[in-house]
Amino acid sequence: MSTQQQVTASDAIRVLELMDLTSLNEEDTPQSIVAMLDSIDARIALPAAVCVYPQFVGVCKTELAARGWHSVKVATVTNFPCGKQPLEQVLAQTQRAIDEGADEIDLVMPYNQVVAGDPDTPWQYVHSSKKVCGMSAKLKVIIETGVLEKPELIAQASDIAILAGADFIKTSTGKVPVNATLAAARVMIERIKINGKPVGFKASGGVKTVAQGLPYLTLAADIMGADWVSPSQFRFGASSLLTDVKRVVAQG
């Protein structure tokens, strides 16, 4: 979308319902996480999930239950943001997060190993994390497309994650200079289609306005079909996007 005038309130609500409202800041506190939840206006719509550091999973579960927002999932991150933690530490963190009620685990694949020509290590991280998740939590695998950069590496990382058991593949941590792009999204969604497995897609980092989000929806619908674009298979990871959603809705 090239102009704000092309964006409607219904567009904004649709984007919100696909959003993982995210706060992954070093200065986060229980109070700041509650403030993020306070920024949600249920009269407009609820996001698909909130995504926070592991130590705030319990806070989110308690607060969401108190508000009656039972549809909102709680996601957290592991091996974040650099993808270099020991596997045993990642798996222990995953289990703790699930024990505290996490519905979704956003795992950073050891993406530098893909660049180095080692597909086995990333596969093991994804496969082992999925075994811990079992049926208790969805596993969303961050491949860090801005570092992989080349379409062939993005495709390879997507394939590794999909074949190792990922429930979603996700573009980015939001902590590197280049995060979600339409070009990377196209490669990833095409790999989902080619592999033929029930895997979702998450665009994370850099989608700050409803207008920036809509082309991703169009792209996904073109490749996978309009019915595929739902919270169970498509997400935006965003922190500031909610502000623009509210602005668009207020404008009608």
Give the pTM. Answer: 0.96
Is the CB of residue 62 less than 8 Å from the CB of residue 34? no
Structure-token pair, residue 112: 């530098």
The closest of 137, 228, 138 to 189, measured between CA atoms, is: 228
The pairs formed by 111-114 with CB atoms below 8 angstroms and a separation of 24 or more are 111/83, 111/142, 111/143, 111/144, 111/147, 111/148, 111/157, 112/83, 112/84, 112/147, 114/143, 114/148, 114/153, 114/156, 114/157, 114/160
Residue 239 CA to residue 136 CA, distance in Å, equals: 26
pLDDT digits (tens, 9 = 90+) for 165-174: 999 999 999 9
Q: Does domain 4-251 have CATH number 3.40.50.920?
A: no
Residue 144 CA to residue 194 CA, distance in Å, equals: 20
Question: Which residues share a beta bridge with 50?
Answer: 21, 74
| Residue 206 one-letter amino acid | G
Residue 80 has pLDDT above 80, yes or no: yes
pLDDT digits (tens, 9 = 90+) for 218-247: 999 999 999 999 999 999 999 999 999 999
Question: What is the predicted pLDDT for the residue at 1?
Answer: 41
Active site residue 170: yes
| Residue 130 one-letter amino acid | K
Question: Which residues share a beta bridge with 201?
Answer: 169, 234
Is the CB of residue 161 less than 8 Å from the CB of residue 187? no
pLDDT digits (tens, 9 = 90+) for 33-57: 999 999 999 999 999 999 999 999 9
Question: What is the predicted pLDDT for the residue at 2?
Answer: 42
Residue 142 CA to residue 203 CA, distance in Å, equals: 10
Active site residue 106: yes
**pLDDT confidence of 90, banded at 50, 70, 90?**
very high
Question: What is the predicted pLDDT for the residue at 6?
Answer: 85
Among the listed residues 103, 106, 167, 244, the single catalytic one is 106
Residue 126 has pLDDT above 80, yes or no: yes
How is the chain split into domains, by residue range? Answer: 4-251
Residue 5 has pLDDT above 60, yes or no: no
Question: What is the predicted pLDDT for the residue at 3?
Answer: 42
Residue 14 CA to residue 243 CA, distance in Å, equals: 14
Question: What is the predicted pLDDT for the residue at 227?
Answer: 97
**pLDDT confidence of 252, banded at 50, 70, 90?**
confident
Across residues 75-83, what is the average pLDDT? 98
pLDDT digits (tens, 9 = 90+) for 175-202: 999 999 999 999 999 999 999 999 999 9
Among the listed residues 20, 130, 170, 244, the single catalytic one is 170
Average confidence score pLDDT of the chain: 97
Question: What is the predicted pLDDT for the residue at 219?
Answer: 98
**Residue 217 CB coordination number (10 Å):** 18
Structure-token pair, residue 83: 């993808």
Residue 56 CA to residue 199 CA, distance in Å, equals: 27
